[in-house]
Amino acid sequence: MEIEGIVTTGYGKGAYFLGQEFYKLKFQEKCGFIPFPGTLNIIIPEDKLKEINSIKNNCNNTIKPDEGFGGVKYIKSRLNNTENGAIVFPDKTTHEENYLEFISKNNLRKKLKLKDNDIVKLYINI
């Protein structure tokens, strides 16, 4: 599945959680990389919400909660057909339904020179 979205600034909470040893180890084990401590936040079009929610609800890739930390569903994906990573669906989130959070081993804003309102394309492995 391909989906275009718009880069936006998040709340900064992803940096805290992805900096925790528990999540680093689990993402390395399950996705093959230690994530950069932060997510790339992408706003997706409203007409894609039904598909995304279906993917999320049928996703069996999970990181189970640990003491003090919530669980996370994830789907391996690619950004702009160049960056391997995953879309994460934290059990606890403050984002609106049309926000996706993409993780990678790289600081994507820096590596790809992304800024708010840039258009990116996600390739989701379903």
Report residues of the chain scoring pLDDT below 50: none
Nearest to 44 by CA among 3, 2, 83: 3
Q: What is the predicted pLDDT for the residue at 102?
A: 96
Which range of residues forms the domain containing residue 73?
2-124
Q: What is the predicted pLDDT for the residue at 93?
A: 62
Q: What is the predicted pLDDT for the residue at 47?
A: 92
Q: How far apart are CA 46 and CA 50, in angstroms?
A: 8
Q: What is the predicted pLDDT for the residue at 19?
A: 79
CATH number at residue 10: 2.40.30.30
Question: For the chain, what is the domain count?
Answer: 1
